Structure 1
Amino acid sequence: MVFPNNSDEVVSALTICHKHKVPVAIRSGIGHSYIGQSTVNNGVVLNMQRLKGFDVSGVGQYIVKMGAGLDTIEVYTLMGLHDPPLAFPGGSHATVGIAGYFSGGGQSVLGPKYGVAVDRLVAADVVVYDKPSGAFKVVKATLSEGYEDLLFAVRGGMGGNYAVVLNFYYEAYPATRVLFSSGSMNNYVVGTYATRVREYMKFMADESTPADFGSTLLFRSTTNMSLSYYYSLCLCSPDGDCSVCDEVTSRFRKRTGTTDPTFFLPDTEEMSLVRAQWTQMNCGSVYPSKGVRHASEAEIQAAMDLCRYIGTHSLDLHWVQMNYYYPDNLSLGDVTTMVDGILGETCYKSGCRQSIVPYTHKMLDEPQDCRRDPGEKCTSFDHRSRGFNIEHAIYYKPGEVLSEVAYPWLVDMSEALKPISLNTKYQNYMEDTSTRTEWISQFFPHKGTYERLQAVKRKYNYIDIFDIDGVRNFSVEV
Structure 2
Amino acid sequence: MAIARSRSSFALSLHVAAFFAIVHHVASVTTAAAPSTDTAPFLDCLAAHLPSGAVYTPASQSYTSVLECSIKNLLFVTPATPTPIAIVAATRASHVQHAVRCGARHGVRVRPRSGGHDYEGLSYRSLSAARPFAVVDLPALRAVRVDVRSETAWVGSGATLGELYYAIANHSAGLGFPGGVGPTVGVGGHLSGGGFGLLLRKHGLAADNVIDAIIVDAKGRLLDRAAMGEDLFWAIRGGGGGSFGIVLSWKLRLVRVPATVTVFTIHRPRNQSATALITRWQQVAPVLPRDVFLRVVLQNQDAQFESLYLGTCAGLAATMSRSFPELSMKPEDCIEMSWIQSVLYFAFYGTGKPMELLLDRGTKPERYFKAKSDYVTEPIPGHVWESTWSWLLKDGAGLLIMDPYGGRMRRVAPSATPFPHRRELYNLQYYGFWFKNGTEESEKHIGWIRGLHREMEPYVSKNPTGAYVNYRDLDLGVNDDDDNAVNGYEKARVWGETYFKANFERLAAVKAKVDPHDFFRNEQTIPPLSSSWKGLSHG
SS state of the match for residue 123, structure 2?
Answer: coil
Task: Please tell me whether the aligned partners of residues 115 and 364 of structure 1 are also in contact (alpha carbons under 8 angstroms).
Answer: no
1:1-150 to 2 correspondences below 5 Å? 1-30=87-116, 32-40=117-125, 42-57=132-147, 59=149, 61-83=150-172, 85-130=174-219, 136-141=220-225, 147-150=229-232
Find the counterpart in structure 2 of residue 416 from structure 1.
455
8 A contact 1:17–1:23 mirrored in 2: yes
Kindly indicate whether structure 1 or structure 2 has the higher relative contact order, using CA contacts under 8 Å at least 6 residues apart: 1
Aligned residue in 1 for 2:129: none
TM-score normalised to structure 2 length? 0.71
Alignment-derived partner of residue 153 in structure 1: 235
State the distance in 2 between where 1:25 and 1:220 align. 35
1:114-263 matches, cutoff 5 A: 114-130=203-219, 136-141=220-225, 147-189=229-271, 192-205=273-286, 207=287, 209-221=288-300, 227-236=302-311, 243-249=314-320, 254-257=325-328
What residue is the counterpart of 2:509 in the other structure? 455
Deviation readout 1:148-202 (Å, 9 max, x if unpaired): 011111111011110010111111122213433233435235x933212123222
Q: Are 2:498 and 1:442 equivalent residues in the alignment?
A: yes
- Structure 1 gaps, min length 5: 131-135, 261-265, 293-299, 368-375
- Per-residue deviation, 1:146: 5.6
TM-score (norm 1): 0.80
- Aligned-residue offset at 1:45: 1.7
Give 1:414 shift: 2.7
Q: Give the equivalent residue in structure 2 for 1:425.
A: 467
Find the counterpart in structure 2 of residue 477 from structure 1. Answer: 527
Question: What residue identity is the alignment partner of 1:444?
Answer: F
Aligned-residue Cα RMSD (Å) equals 2.8
Distance in structure 1 (CA, Å) of the matches to 2:110 and 2:426: 34
**Aligned partners of 1:407, 1:340: CA distance in 2, in Å?**
18
Q: Quick one: which of 387, 392, 398 aligns to 2:437? A: 398
Match of 2:345, SS state, is helix
Q: CA deviation at 1:406?
A: 3.6
Alpha-carbon spacing, 1:252–1:180, altered in 2? closer, same or farther (3 Å): farther
Alpha carbons 1:183, 1:258 under 8 Å: kept: no
Q: Report the residue type matching 1:320 in the other structure.
A: K
Instruction: Give CA-to-partner distance per residue, 1:175-230, whole Å, 9 cap, x none.
Output: 213433233435235x933212123222212x3x2100112211234xxxx65423
Distance 1:253 1:182 in 2: 14
4+ runs deviating over 4 angstroms: 249-254, 257-260, 283-286
Q: Does 1:343 align with 2:432?
A: no
Contact 1:180 1:268 in 2 (8 A): yes
SS in 1 for 2:375: strand
Distance 1:119 1:38, change over 3 A: same
Runs (5+) with no aligned partner, structure 2: 1-86, 127-131, 478-491, 529-539
2:299–2:392 contact (8 Å) kept in structure 1: no
Secondary structure of residue in 2 paired with 1:321 = strand
Q: What is residue 263 of structure 1 aligned with on the other side?
A: none
Cα distance change on mapping 1:258 and 1:308 into 2, 3 Å = farther
Residue 329 (structure 1) aligned with residue 402 (structure 2): no
Deviations 1:452-478 (A, max 9, x none): 21122222223333334xxx2x12112
1:269 paired with 2:308, answer: no
